[in-house]
Chain A
C-alpha cells in the first residue's frame, strides 16, 4: 500500500575465498609494483621499498618495474608473472590507470592481499576515478583483498610492514590495533606511539576503502588474538547498520576506542520536529558510540592516552585511587579532576596516615590522600614506603605518582653535574615496579614538565629517559595528571565502573 522505500540491499562481498589475514599482515614474500628503476627515485614504490628494508623486514622483497634492472641490491622483475616464488602481499604504487591490471596480475599469481598506495580514484570525484575504483572492487571480489587505494598502507611491527613513509617506526609489537581512513592520522599515531609506549599489533590506513574498510576490519580485529585493544579514527562510514553491529560486537569482546572526526559541521537539514532539529550528527554519533559500548575520545592525544591506559593496566574499573605528589595544588587539582570523572580519592585511615607521615619531611607534608610529599627531592625509597602504605587501604585500587623531576635542575646546577646523573630516576622506576609487584595494585607515573625552552633540553631528555625506564618496567606514563585521570575514567566507563549518582 505504500511506495516501496526499502532499497535493494547493496550487494555485499562475502568472504570468498576466505581472507588469509595471516599472509596479509605477516607476509613471507612481498611484491612492490611501481618502484622507480633508479636509486634516486622518490616515488611511493621506491619509498616503500626503502622503508620496509630499513624496518628490517625479514622476508623476500620482489620489486617490479617493466624496465627491469636492479634497485637497492634487489633484482627488479619486469612483470609480476616473472617473480620466481610465491608472493603473499603486494604493494601497488603504479599510476592509477595501471592499478587494475597490476592488481589482476597479483590475483593471478595467488597474492592474498594488496595495499594500493596510488591515488587518482574516487577521491577525485571524476567519472574515470570512480570507474577505476569499481574495477578494483570487481577484481578484489575475485579473491584478493585490497587496502586502499589512496592510503598509506599497513603497519605491522611483528612482520616489518610499515606505513608510508615510515622507515623508523617501532618493531616492538603490542596489543593495540588502529584503523583509520586517514593515512596521516595513522602515521602520526604510529610515531607518537613509539615514544608514548603504545605498542601496536597492526595498523591499517585504508584510504578510500574500496574493499576492506571499517566494519570488516573491526570484525577481523575483534577476533584477532594479537589484538587486545582496538582503536579507530573515523571520518565517514559506508554502512551505518553494519558498522553499528560490528562496533557493538567488537566492544563486547575488547576495549574499543573511537575518535570520530568531522563532528563540528552539523548538517543543516530541513526538519519539522524538535527531535530532528536536535539530532545533529555530533549528538547522534555520541549516542551511537555509547550505545555500542565504545570509548569515545575527542582528539589524538586523548586517543593515544586511552590506548596506553587500556594496553598497560589490568582490565577492571578503578573506583578509588591514591595520588602521591609534591605541592598542595596538585592535590587540589587531582580532587577536582577526579570528582569530574566520578573517581574517588578516599582519605586514608589514621594508622596508614601515621605510617606514611613517618617517612615524609615535616612540616609541609600531608598523608591524607592526595598525599603531598612537600618536597620534590623525597627519595625513591621513601616514596616506595608511601605507596606501600597507601596501598594498605583496600579502597585504593590504583595509585598515581606525580614526579616533578624538572626541579632537579637546580640541584644539578648547584653540584655542577648533569641533571640525568643527579636525578635518581632509575631507582625511582624500580621502586615503583616493586610496589606494583608487592601490592598487586597498578601505579601510573605522571611526569609534568613546565620547562620546555631551549635552555631546558637536558630536562626534556631526563624526562624522556625516565619515561623509557618506566615503560620498560611496565608502568604507564602521562604528561599531566588530568590526562591520567581521564584515561582511568575511560577504563572505568568501559568496564562498567561508571557510577550514576542517584
Chain B
C-alpha cells in the first residue's frame, strides 16, 4: 500500500527541481511511515518563534533547515540545550545570518537526551535494490564503520539479526545504568525504512543519523533523504 502523504512530499520536492529533502521534510516522510522522529516545528519568521517555543518546551534544539545546506554542525547552524526565550532569540538570529543566501527556516526541536547514538539508512544496490543499514551512529559511523545491511523487504528476523551483526551490538543491552533499547521499536524502524525504499523508487538514499536511544525508545534526531536524479 502506497503512502500518499510521503509520496506527496516527495512529489512536491521533485516539482521544485530539488534532489534533497530538508531535515523537516525527511522527517515528515518518516513520520508518515510510523517512524518515531523528534517533535519539531518549522519557523519561518521571528514572529512565530514564541509560539514554536511554547509548543516544544525547554530545553530545546534549534537548527537551520534548508535542503541546500548539508553539514549543519560545521556551519554553526545547530544550537542545543536552549533553556530560555532570550537564548532562543539569539540563536534564531545567528542561524538566519548563517543561512544568508539560502532558502531556509529554523527548526525548533525537542531535545532528545540519550548517550547512545545509532545510524539507520537506506541505499540502493545496483544488483539487489533497496538495502537497509544499521550501525553505530554519530561520529562513530564514519570512524568505526560498524554497520550491517539487509535487503528490503526485511522480515522481523532480518532486522533482529542485522542488529546483532554489528560488533557494538551490546550498546543495545542494559549497560552502565541505561535501559536496554526497545528491540521491537528498532525492528519496526528498520522494516519501515525498507518499506520507504520499496514503495518510493524516487528515494535513492536515506541517512537517519543520529537515531538516539532515549530511555529505551529510539528517536530519529537528524535525517537526510536524497532523491534520484530525474535528469
Interface on A for B, CB 8 Å cutoff?
1-3, 5-6, 237, 240-241, 243-244, 267, 271-276, 278-279, 281, 283-284, 287-288, 290-291, 500, 502
A276-B161 contact given A2-B11, A240-B129, A284-B149, CB 8 Å threshold: no
Identify which of B11, B123, B162 contacts A276 (C-beta below 8 A). Answer: B123
B135 to chain A: closest residue by CB: A278
Identify which of B128, B131, B226 contacts A272 (C-beta below 8 A). Answer: B226
Q: What is the CA–CA distance of A288 and B161 in the complex, to the nearest angstrom?
A: 12
Interface on B for A, CB 8 Å cutoff?
7, 11, 14, 20, 70, 119, 121-129, 131, 133, 135, 141-142, 145, 147-151, 158, 161-162, 164-165, 169, 173, 201-202, 204-207, 209, 224, 226, 228, 230
Residues in A with CB closer than 8 Å to B123 are 271, 273, 275-276, 278-279
A5-B173 contact given A279-B133, A290-B165, A291-B151, CB 8 Å threshold: no
Q: What is the CA–CA distance of A284 and B202 in the complex, to the nearest angstrom?
A: 21
Residues in B with CB closer than 8 Å to A284 are 125, 127-128, 131, 149
Are A275 and B173 within 8 A (Cβ)? no
Are B202 and A241 within 8 A (Cβ)? no
Are B121 and A274 within 8 A (Cβ)? yes
A236 to chain B: closest residue by CB: B127
- A1, A2, A284, A287, most chain B CB atoms within 10 A: A287
B8 to chain A: closest residue by CB: A1
Q: What is the CA–CA distance of A244 and B209 in the complex, to the nearest angstrom?
A: 29
A287-B205 contact given A241-B129, A273-B224, A275-B122, CB 8 Å threshold: no
Are B127 and A279 within 8 A (Cβ)? no
Are B125 and A2 within 8 A (Cβ)? no
B142 to chain A: closest residue by CB: A274
Are B164 and A500 within 8 A (Cβ)? yes
Residues in A with CB closer than 8 Å to B7 are 1
Q: What is the CA–CA distance of A290 and B148 in the complex, to the nearest angstrom?
A: 10
Are B150 and A287 within 8 A (Cβ)? yes
Are B148 and A271 within 8 A (Cβ)? no
Distance (Å) between the CB of B14 and the closest chain A CB? 7
Are A287 and B162 within 8 A (Cβ)? yes
A5-B201 contact given A273-B121, A275-B121, CB 8 Å threshold: yes
B145 to chain A: closest residue by CB: A278
Q: What is the CA–CA distance of A3 and B231 in the complex, to the nearest angstrom?
A: 10
Q: 7 A-B contacts, Cβ less than 8 Å apart?
A: A240-B128, A275-B123, A276-B124, A278-B141, A278-B147, A284-B127, A288-B149
Identify which of A2, A273, A275, A288 contacts B151 (C-beta below 8 A). Answer: A288
Give the 5 A-B CB pairs with smallest separation, nearest first.
A275-B121, A240-B127, A287-B149, A279-B123, A273-B205
Residues in A with CB closer than 8 Å to B131 are 279, 284, 287-288
Residues in A with CB closer than 8 Å to B142 are 274
Distance (Å) between the CB of A288 and the closest chain B CB? 6
B124 to chain A: closest residue by CB: A276
- B141, B149, B201, B224, most chain A CB atoms within 10 A: B149
Residues in A with CB closer than 8 Å to B133 are 275, 278-279
A2 to chain B: closest residue by CB: B202
A1-B11 contact given A287-B149, A288-B128, CB 8 Å threshold: yes
Distance (Å) between the CB of A260 and the closest chain B CB? 11
Are A290 and B127 within 8 A (Cβ)? no
A275 to chain B: closest residue by CB: B121
Identify which of A273, A290, A500 contacts B206 (C-beta below 8 A). Answer: A273
Q: What is the CA–CA distance of A284 and B121 in the complex, to the nearest angstrom?
A: 13
Q: What is the CA–CA distance of A287 and B204 in the complex, to the nearest angstrom?
A: 19
Are A5 and B205 within 8 A (Cβ)? no
Residues in A with CB closer than 8 Å to B158 are 291
- A2, A243, A500, most chain B CB atoms within 10 A: A2
Q: What is the CA–CA distance of A155 and B39 in the complex, to the nearest angstrom?
A: 63
- A1, A241, A272, A279, most chain B CB atoms within 10 A: A279
Are A3 and B230 within 8 A (Cβ)? yes
Are A290 and B161 within 8 A (Cβ)? yes
Q: What is the CA–CA distance of A276 and B123 in the complex, to the nearest angstrom?
A: 5
Distance (Å) between the CB of B68 and the closest chain A CB? 13
Are A291 and B150 within 8 A (Cβ)? yes
- B133, B141, B209, B228, most chain A CB atoms within 10 A: B133
Q: What is the CA–CA distance of A281 and B125 in the complex, to the nearest angstrom?
A: 8
Are B173 and A272 within 8 A (Cβ)? no
Distance (Å) between the CB of B203 and the closest chain A CB? 11
Q: What is the CA–CA distance of A51 and B125 in the complex, to the nearest angstrom?
A: 43
Are B209 and A274 within 8 A (Cβ)? yes
Are A5 and B149 within 8 A (Cβ)? no
B137 to chain A: closest residue by CB: A274
B228 to chain A: closest residue by CB: A5
